[in-house]
Amino acid sequence: MDDKSPRVGIVMGSDNDWSKIKAVAQALQEFGVPFEARVMSAHRTPHIVSQYAADAQDRGLEVIIAAAGGAAHLAGVVAAHTTLPVIGLPVPTPDLGGLDSLLSTVQMPGDVPVASMAVGMGGPRNAGLFAVQILATADEVLRAKLTNFKQKLVKKITEKNEQFQVALKKG
């Protein structure tokens, strides 16, 4: 596997989901993690989903992020066909605000684990960062990048607190 081969697969139930989840890709890019993205449906193309998941490890993938809205069974179907870690990303929906997606993603039966992220807000970015954390368990370069990232977060929040304290004193 070369340095450009995808290590993370991003699958989504609809191409309309990309605008809601592209922060996944941005987080992976920030850490230099190559990925691939595909559109497939647990309900409309189940054979494609099962084949993708079954072949993923042989193609060099190490983590799969599955994003879907509504009856969000994509992550579960992927997890049923692979031994790779699967991260479920519930996509917000107009009718129920993503609660339907969240419940479909998080309520997995025993023996089919799926790590579930938040609906909207930080969910997509956290899915990407969690994939990086999984990869970093066996990758010193990524582990160093994550350490640096965490240190920058501490500095950023510390500076924001200092600015807030000054503003607070001014009233």
CA distances from 72 to 93, 115, 135, 161 (A): 11, 14, 25, 39
Per the CB < 8 A criterion, the answer to whether 124 and 164 are in contact is no
In a domain, 103, yes or no: yes
In a domain, 91, yes or no: yes
Per the CB < 8 A criterion, the answer to whether 14 and 115 are in contact is no
In a domain, 3, yes or no: no
pLDDT of 11 over the 80 cut: yes
Which strands form 86-90's sheet, in the order they lie side by side?
Answer: 35-39, 8-12, 63-68, 86-90, 115-116
The answer on 87 and 164 residing in a single domain is no
Q: Please compute the mean of the pLDDT values over residues 19-36 and round it to a whole number.
A: 98
Per the CB < 8 A criterion, the answer to whether 102 and 119 are in contact is yes
> Which one, of 157, 134, 140, 106, lies nearest residue 27 by Cα?
134
Q: Quick one: pLDDT at residue 2? A: 58
The answer on 132 and 96 residing in a single domain is yes
* 126 Cβ neighbours under 8 A, 6+ residues apart: 117, 118
Per the CB < 8 A criterion, the answer to whether 63 and 9 are in contact is yes
Q: Quick one: pLDDT at residue 120? A: 87
Phi-psi region of 70 (alpha: psi -120 to 50; beta: other; left: phi over 0): left
The answer on 128 and 159 residing in a single domain is no
The two three-digit tokens of residue 54, written as one number? 């079954």
The answer on 92 and 58 residing in a single domain is yes
In a domain, 78, yes or no: yes
Q: How many structural domains comprise the chain?
A: 2
pLDDT tens-digit series, residues 67-94: 999 989 999 999 999 999 999 999 999 9
pLDDT of 95 over the 90 cut: no
Which CATH number characterizes residue 45's domain? 3.40.50.1970
In a domain, 167, yes or no: yes
Query: CA–CA separation, 89 vs 44, rounded Å?
Result: 19
Per the CB < 8 A criterion, the answer to whether 65 and 9 are in contact is yes
The answer on 55 and 76 residing in a single domain is yes
Q: Which domain holds residue 121?
A: 8-138
The answer on 41 and 121 residing in a single domain is yes
The answer on 124 and 171 residing in a single domain is no
Query: CA–CA separation, 63 vs 42, rounded Å?
Result: 18
pLDDT of 160 over the 60 cut: yes
pLDDT tens-digit series, residues 124-157: 999 999 999 999 999 999 999 999 999 999 999 9
The answer on 84 and 55 residing in a single domain is yes
